[in-house]
Amino acid sequence: MVLNYIVFIIFSTSLVLTNGNIGKCDLAIAPSTWLTTNATGILEYSTAGHPTNGNNYCIRQTETTNFLHELQVAYHIDLGNETYSKTLMKSVVRSISLDSQNGCVNNDTKVVYCFPLCLNVTLQNQVIESALKSNQPAFVAQDIQKTTKLNWAITVMQVDYNDPNTHINASVFLNPSAWCSVYVGIRPKLGFDYLYEIQLGKILD
Ligand SMILES: *[C@@H]1O[C@H](CO)[C@@H](O)[C@H](O)[C@H]1NC(C)=O
Ligand SMILES: *[C@@H]1O[C@H](CO)[C@@H](O)[C@H](O)[C@H]1NC(C)=O
Ligand SMILES: *[C@@H]1O[C@H](CO)[C@@H](O)[C@H](O)[C@H]1NC(C)=O
Ligand SMILES: *[C@@H]1O[C@H](CO)[C@@H](O)[C@H](O)[C@H]1NC(C)=O
Ligand SMILES: *[C@@H]1O[C@H](CO)[C@@H](O)[C@H](O)[C@H]1NC(C)=O
Cα 85 to Cα 52: distance, rounded to the nearest angstrom:
25
Ligand 5 pocket, Cβ-based, cut-off 6 angstroms:
120, 122-123, 126, 148, 150, 176-177
Shortest-distance atom of ligand 1 to CA 38: 1
Instruction: State phi, psi for 141 to the nearest 5 degrees.
Output: -60, -45
Q: Residue 185 pairs with which residues in a beta bridge? A: 113, 195
Report residue 2's pLDDT band, with 50, 70 and 90 as the boundaries.
very low
User: Residue 1: is its pLDDT beyond 60?
Assistant: no
* Cα-to-centroid distance, 122 and ligand 5 (Å): 6
Burial 127-146 (b: 16+ CB within 10 A, else e): bbebbbebbebeebbbbbbe
User: Residue 56: is its pLDDT beyond 50?
Assistant: yes
Contact between 116 and 104 under an 8 Å Cβ cutoff? The reply is yes
Pick the ligand that lies closest to the CA of residue 121: 5
Mean pLDDT lowest for which of 2-6, 64-68, 194-198?
2-6
Greater confidence (101 vs 135) lies with 135
User: Residue 171: is its pLDDT beyond 80?
Assistant: yes
Tell me, what's the pLDDT at 103? 92
Q: Other C-beta atoms within 10 Å of 177: how many?
A: 14
Pick the ligand that lies closest to the CA of residue 91: 2
Share of the chain above pLDDT 70, in %: 86
Burial 67-88 (b: 16+ CB within 10 A, else e): ebbebbbbbbbbbeeeeeebbe
Tell me, what's the pLDDT at 165? 86
Mean pLDDT lowest for which of 80-89, 115-124, 130-139, 185-194?
80-89
Tell me, what's the pLDDT at 114? 93
The predicted model gives 11-19 an average pLDDT of 66
Tell me, what's the pLDDT at 198? 98
Share of the chain above pLDDT 90, in %: 69
In a 13 Å sphere around the CA of 88, the CA atoms on its Cβ side amount to: 11
Query: Is the CB of residue 36 below 6 angstroms from any atom belonging to ligand 1?
Result: yes
* Cα-to-centroid distance, 58 and ligand 5 (Å): 25
Report residue 55's pLDDT band, with 50, 70 and 90 as the boundaries.
very high
Cα 159 to Cα 137: distance, rounded to the nearest angstrom:
10
Report residue 7's pLDDT band, with 50, 70 and 90 as the boundaries.
low
- Per the omega criterion (within 30 degrees of 0), is the bond before 176 cis? no
Tell me, what's the pLDDT at 3? 52
* Cα-to-centroid distance, 48 and ligand 1 (Å): 22
Query: Is the CB of residue 20 below 6 angstroms from any atom belonging to ligand 1?
Result: yes
Report residue 84's pLDDT band, with 50, 70 and 90 as the boundaries.
confident
User: Residue 140: is its pLDDT beyond 90?
Assistant: yes
Cα 188 to Cα 19: distance, rounded to the nearest angstrom:
40
Q: Which H helix or E strand runs over 201?
A: strand 194-201
Q: Which H helix or E strand runs over 145?
A: helix 137-148
* Cα-to-centroid distance, 57 and ligand 5 (Å): 21
* Cα-to-centroid distance, 35 and ligand 1 (Å): 9
Eight-class DSSP state of 203:
B
Ligand 3 pocket, Cβ-based, cut-off 6 angstroms:
80-81
Cα 116 to Cα 92: distance, rounded to the nearest angstrom:
15
- pLDDT tens digit string along 93-129? 876 555 678 999 999 999 999 999 999 999 999 999 9
